[in-house]
Structure 1
């Protein structure tokens, strides 16, 4: 029967660490994009507020001063909508990268698991065919469950994105 070698354990640990740092880097990239967007929005808001105050101070009569807020409400709504859309794009992009990485990682895990079961079957002692068949059956059931869950998750994400 085959057992894991120290090199295989080290390789598995190294792959886990690399995966963790890959996810962490993607998360930081998303946060970095959100911070940049917020800085840009903050600078724009500051400049717009300065412009509004300048207009308010230079208003010649009260009617001009009272008309100022009404003229600003439409651009503010458009800017809030654009900001929300940009946040959604950033978050969706990071989520898509996470999903892609997780899918690739699971597919590699499936291949590794299948190779392990095949290696186990090759090196199994006589009379263990039933146990090997059970392993294969469990592995197949796990893969089918993953595929169903993955399909449902993709449909959920598509429905949420369409809303």
Structure 2
């Protein structure tokens, strides 16, 4: 191995280690954000449940309980949707960091592969044209495969985003319908 190759190898290994720790740091940040969000949600749920229980015990008539139900269901659903939206945002941001890192790594690998290919092409002995063509074809296929996977991943993320938005809208409608039904039941009681 020449000194140049040893330096290249060391630089590549350093790059891999840096990438590993960078991605691990992003995962830890995402877990930290989710943990804080879950703690906030747990505190909120606990205090709101205590308050609701006290109000429910203070109600003496069935219509009072229906009114309490109506007063609680809409905010609870909105908070649930907000929680889901925050989780989605954290996961999306973490995913985007991974994609950004993967794209940067692939660009670096592609540039290195192209430089290697240029060197091989310049220094290839006579009669090795088929091997060089195969190498070029392999690099092109790898780049095309990455582009295809990258596009598919972006489409899947868009579909997930659309499904999440549709589920949020459906949930909001269901809560409003439930509140209207409970209101009618309270009036009838």
Aligned length: 161
Q: Which residue number corresponds to residue 157 of structure 2?
A: 157
Q: Which residue number corresponds to residue 73 of structure 1?
A: 73
User: Which consecutive residues of structure 1, in runs of 5 or more, have no partner in the other structure?
Assistant: none
Task: Provide the C-alpha distance between the structure 2 equivalents of 1:70 and 1:154, rounded to a whole number of angstroms.
Answer: 40
Which is worse superposed, 8-17 or 118-127?
118-127
Counterparts in 2 of 1:127 and 1:60: CA distance versus 1, 3 Å: closer
Provide runs of 4+ in structure 1 moved above 3 Å: 62-65
Counting only pairs closer than 5 Å after superposition, residues 101-112 of structure 1 correspond to structure 2 as: 101-112=101-112
Matched-pair contact (CA < 8 Å) for 2:27–2:94: yes
Q: Which residue number corresponds to residue 126 of structure 2?
A: 126
How far does residue 60 in structure 1 lie from its aligned partner after superposition? 5.7
How far does residue 91 in structure 1 lie from its aligned partner after superposition? 0.6
Q: Secondary structure at the match of 2:146?
A: helix
Q: Which residue number corresponds to residue 33 of structure 1?
A: 33
Task: Provide the C-alpha distance between the structure 1 equivalents of 2:47 and 2:156, rounded to a whole number of angstroms.
Answer: 40
Counterparts in 2 of 1:72 and 1:108: CA distance versus 1, 3 Å: same
How far does residue 65 in structure 1 lie from its aligned partner after superposition? 5.8
Task: Provide the C-alpha distance between the structure 2 equivalents of 1:140 and 1:52, rounded to a whole number of angstroms.
Answer: 63
Counting only pairs closer than 5 Å after superposition, residues 131-142 of structure 1 correspond to structure 2 as: 131-142=131-142
Matched-pair contact (CA < 8 Å) for 2:30–2:91: yes
Q: Which residue number corresponds to residue 61 of structure 1?
A: 60
TM-score (norm: length of structure 2):
0.76
Deviations 1:65-109 (A, max 9, x none): 633334312221111111111111111111111111111111111
Matched-pair contact (CA < 8 Å) for 2:56–2:65: no
Which is worse superposed, 62-71 or 144-153?
62-71
Counterparts in 2 of 1:60 and 1:95: CA distance versus 1, 3 Å: closer
Task: Provide the C-alpha distance between the structure 2 equivalents of 1:50 and 1:144, rounded to a whole number of angstroms.
Answer: 58
Task: Provide the C-alpha distance between the structure 2 equivalents of 1:152 and 1:19, rounded to a whole number of angstroms.
Answer: 23
Matched-pair contact (CA < 8 Å) for 2:30–2:94: yes
